[in-house]
Structure 1
Amino acid sequence: MATSSVSDHPAVAIDERMLRAAVAAYLGRYLGESRVHTGSDLKVFLTWCSGQDLDPLCLGRAEIERYVRWLQEVR
């Protein structure tokens, strides 16, 4: 069986400025320890998205459900 050097996932072009703005706006809703914990959860989510070659701003329900399953099974 031949292996392909091409990933099964399409290459994702993430607009870093838009993502940073979205993260800042999201975290801006929280203060104190809530912000710290929410930031930690968001970091886990963004790291998972990066590992899956997914743009976190363009996910659908299927990808979110896959993330939740990953949290339940792996994390």
Structure 2
Amino acid sequence: MTTSTALQSYPTSSDSHLLTAAVAAYLGRYRGQSRIHTDSDLKVFLRWSANQALDPLRAARTDIERYVRWLQDVRLYQPSTGSGGCPW
């Protein structure tokens, strides 16, 4: 199994083994291009968490909302259209 590049950007903490296991379990659900893109997204989240001095394993809903707002305002990501739009 390929090691995630996402963890390489996250500083070592007391929960580093738990974080490593959580990342591996999460990425284990994906294959191919989906895994590559998910790993990239996770890397961005872990880097953002580190910059916010936030333990990603203890992130609350408000933290995720701040992250999504940051993606939209700073990274200029557009909201997903997968959950709405098409009426049929």
**By the TM > 0.5 criterion, same fold?**
yes
Partner of residue 70, structure 2: 70
Moved over 4 A (4+): none
Partner of residue 25, structure 1: 25
Given residue 18 of structure 1, which amino acid in structure 2 is its aligned partner?
L
Higher fraction of helix:
1
Matches of 1:60 and 1:39, distance apart in 2: 21
Partner of residue 39, structure 1: 39
Structure 2 segments unaligned to the other structure (5+ residues)? 1-12, 76-88
Cα deviation for residue 70 of structure 1 reads 0.2
Percent identical residues: 67
**TM-score, with length taken from structure 1:** 0.81
Given residue 19 of structure 2, which amino acid in structure 1 is its aligned partner?
L
Cα deviation for residue 14 of structure 1 reads 4.6
After superposition, give the CA deviation of every residue in 1:12-38 in whole Å (9 maximum; x if it has no partner): x55000000000000000000000000
Between the two proteins, the alignment pairs up a number of residues equal to: 63
Asked if the contact 1:14/1:55 (under 8 Å) is kept, the reply is no
RMSD: 0.9
Structure 1 segments unaligned to the other structure (5+ residues)? 1-12
